[in-house]
Amino acid sequence: MAVAGLAQTASADTLRLLTWGGYAPEDVIAMFEAETGHTVEVTLSNNEEMIAKLRATAGGGFDLAQPSQDRIAGPQEEFRIYKPIDMSQIDQPQFIPSMLKATMANTTVGGEVYGVPHVWGTSGLVVDTSKAGAVKDYTDLCTPDVAGQVSYRLKRPTLIGFAFAMGMDPFAAYGDEAAYTEIMEKVEAKLIECKPNVKTYWGGGDELMNLVRSGEVVASMAWDTGGWKLNADNPDVTFVAPASGALGWIDTFVLPAKGQADEAAYAWINFVMQPEIAAKITAAAGNFTASKGADAFADDALKARYQASFPPEAVDNIKWYPPVPAGLEVIEGGVLDRVKAAN
């Protein structure tokens, strides 16, 4: 063991990690450093800053970064700021298979994989089950029994969610503007038809929380963590994964093109994806990770909420956001403007 320890120390590197708040807690860093001999330097950032920093240095300055999965393929094609991931260095059985598969597919460029999943979250439905128990999908927000008591944002997740609930696949039409426009026209008509049901279009999380707590809104589109927070106050209110699938985002691990500590980077990925370690990150960040079985080690109350909202089949049914092609935001913006203006 002493020889192994010396070998570890001799090859120890400093891992320069570019990440989000809560994704690299101090206690996890200390455990990793003690186990591997590597040291960790953390720079906190967000998607826009990560891409800007890596563009400015052509992929230098950091050894591991954590952009969302829809910020990988496009920037890589345009700026060459990442290097491929050697999947043989990744402990793949530690990952939830459907998440690993989705992220690998969405981050493949030129036949090479550039990202693996880490922290994730979803938007779906927040429902007062005592008053709106029949709401199981986005389009159920338009039924007569919840008239005047629903809310959602006039933003892209609403357009995407309604499209899936109406039996269409907007993500499959991302490469075809005509097909996407046709889908959005149908969603537009549905949202205009649904307007009388809407108490208000919420703008911020606090506004929605207050609407639900007061009982003015009994069903809404919202994030999973918001639903679980409300559930802590009122057990009748919780997050429901829609029948057509919750809409999911994933923050990933990527290797910057000029990173100098790949061994330490792979060691960190494999270390934090261990279920018990991943649970510590969930406690710090508030969101779950793609670590298989990590929910078993989460705080009991959060674990119960997660498992009630996300049985395995609901996890496998999550619709993960792919990269957005140019032009689609203009189409969506027109739809949202017309829905807002409609009487």
Query: Tens place of pLDDT for every residue, the chain, 343 residues?
Result: 333 443 344 467 999 999 999 999 999 999 999 999 999 999 999 998 999 999 999 999 999 999 999 899 999 999 999 999 999 999 999 999 999 999 999 999 999 999 999 999 999 999 999 999 999 999 999 999 999 999 999 999 999 999 999 999 999 999 999 999 999 999 999 999 999 999 999 988 899 999 999 999 999 999 999 999 999 999 999 999 999 999 999 999 999 999 999 999 999 999 999 999 999 999 999 899 999 999 999 999 999 999 999 999 999 999 999 888 878 889 999 999 999 999 8
Contacts of 197 (CB under 8 A, 6+ apart): 141, 142, 143, 146, 147, 148, 149, 150
Residue 5 has a pLDDT of 40
Among residues 283, 277, 276, which one has the least CA distance to residue 299? 283
Among residues 250, 209, 239, which one has the least CA distance to residue 103? 250
pTM, two decimal places: 0.86
Separation CA 17–CA 136 (nearest Å): 40
Neighbouring C-beta atoms of residue 5, cutoff 10 Å: 10
300 burial (CB, 10 Å; 0-12 / 13-18 / 19+) is: exposed
With contact defined as beta carbons under 8 Å apart, do 52 and 99 qualify? no
Residue 11 has a pLDDT of 63
Separation CA 171–CA 247 (nearest Å): 11
Residue 12 has a pLDDT of 79
Q: Where are the alpha helices (DSSP H) in the chain?
A: 2-10, 26-36, 47-56, 73-79, 97-106, 129-132, 156-165, 177-194, 205-213, 224-233, 262-272, 275-285, 300-309, 312-316, 328-341
Residue 300 has a pLDDT of 93
Separation CA 177–CA 184 (nearest Å): 10
Measured CA distances, 288 to 59, 142, 253 (Å): 28, 30, 15
Q: What angle do CA 315, 292, 86 make, to 5 degrees?
A: 105
Contacts of 90 (CB under 8 A, 6+ apart): 116, 266, 269, 270
Residue 330 has a pLDDT of 92
Query: In this structure, what are the phi and psi dihedrals at residue 24, rounded to the nearest 5 degrees?
Result: -140, 70
